[in-house]
Amino acid sequence: MFLEGKRILVTGGTGSLGQKLVRRLLSGEMGRPAKITVFSRDEAKQHYMRLDFQHRKAATDDIIYQESQDLLNFRIGDVRNPSSLLQALRDTDVVFHAAALKQVPTCEYFPYEAVQTNIQGPQNLVRALRENDTPVELVVGISTDKACKPINVMGMTKALQERILLEANMDCERTRFLCVRYGNVIASRGSIVPLFVEQIRTGGPVTITLKEMTRFLLSLDRAVDTVFAAVRAGGRGETYVPQVPAANVVDIARALMEEKEVEITFTGIRPGEKVHEIMVSEEECFRTIERDGYYVILPVLPELRRGLEFTPALKGEYSSMHDNLSVPELRELLSAARSEIASFK
């Protein structure tokens, strides 16, 4: 098992993805880790996450409950602070780097804050590994479709995060660095689905920026599946991208309404917002292969590709504007993720 006996650090572990990742790690599907440490700067979120994980007594959660008692640790720290990060890395074999400022409008209004977390944070991680004797053997950076052909601060900073982590493979010989990149997680904090659920619950209106807007959709579990696929088979400098459906945002709202009639209002595009998201650009498609049901973007640096011969899996960009789901198909998809969505009701 790939993570059997490993000491795992999850930066940003109190976020939506971080919590789902920790729960899946505790299940033992990738092997039983020796220790899992949630590293974040928000003591309140850590407190409530600790209560949630350690006080679940339902029969279906008994294994996770027991494992959280034995394995799960919490550490206050900030990826902006090199010394607190280094202290955590001295006792770590595998890092899942999920810490980020990810709200698009917030990053537009506070761009340097995004720079410090999304660029300086991974640089601090890489520098700690370069300059110190740590046992870290694998780093998986969590990225976003907004990093592909970015037009907003969040996407620009996450694009640089990708490059910082992937370039680290050049001179950190003991550590394998790779990334995963995915789109809108159905039930993550700040995403459109929880917003629509609440607006529909209160009678509307449902607010959408533009009627043309489209997004990729995947569940939190599918996001974690992508992370685990990268752990299993990812090579140095590669970026894993899930093959997931896309939809028009208006159709997402209609699918969530079911039989209700709720007013939709169009508010205009927000600062930094894209109309369509892209997970693989037209430039990247020529070095993108298919592996185990995922698109894998090979490293931009030729030294890391090492003369690998391959046949590209795509002939153009992988965009949310293509092959959109119908409303009935969306209802089926959202129904499968209803337990995640219900937590926001």
**Higher pLDDT residue, 131 or 271?**
131
2 lies in some domain: no
Q: How many folded domains does the chain comprise?
A: 1
Tell me whether residue 138 is in a domain: yes
The model's pLDDT over 111-126, given as tens digits with 9 standing for 90+, comes to 999 999 999 999 999 9
Q: Is residue 286 part of a domain?
A: yes
Domain assignment present for residue 1? The answer is: no
Mean pLDDT of 266-282: 92
Structure tokens at 25: 């790690």
What is the mean predicted confidence (pLDDT) over 226-234?
Answer: 98
pLDDT score for 64: 59
How many residues appear in the chain? 345
Annotated catalytic sites, by residue? 146
Higher pLDDT, 175 or 54: 175
Q: What is the pTM of this model?
A: 0.91
Q: Is 56 left (phi over 0), alpha (psi -120 to 50) or beta?
A: beta
Neighbours of 30 (CB within 10 A): 20
Question: Mean pLDDT over residues 173-201, rounded?
Answer: 88
Q: Assign 190 a pLDDT band (cuts: 50, 70, 90).
A: low
Model confidence band, residue 1 (pLDDT cutoffs 50, 70, 90): confident
CATH number at residue 331: 3.40.50.720
- Average pLDDT of the residues of the chain: 91
Average pLDDT of the segment spanning 41-68:
74
Asked if residue 345 has pLDDT above 80, the reply is no
- Confidence (pLDDT) at 338: 64
**pLDDT grade for 291, boundaries at 50, 70 and 90:** very high
**Residue 288 belongs to some domain of the structure:** yes
The answer to whether 211 and 250 are in contact (CB under 8 A) is yes
Query: So what's the pLDDT on residue 214?
Result: 95
The arithmetic mean of pLDDT across residues 47-73, rounded, is 72
CA-to-CA distance for 162 and 241, rounded, in angstroms? 13
- Are 320 and 172 spatial neighbours (Cβ–Cβ below 8 Å)? no
Residue 218 lies in a domain: yes
Contact 71, 24 (CB under 8 A): no
Query: 274 by DSSP, 3-state: which?
Result: coil
Lowest average pLDDT, out of 51-60, 234-243, 249-258, 318-327, goes to: 51-60
Q: Does residue 330 register a pLDDT over 50?
A: yes
Query: What are the pLDDT digits (tens) for 241-260?
Result: 999 999 999 999 999 998 88
Q: Is residue 159 part of a domain?
A: yes
- Parent domain of 82: 7-342
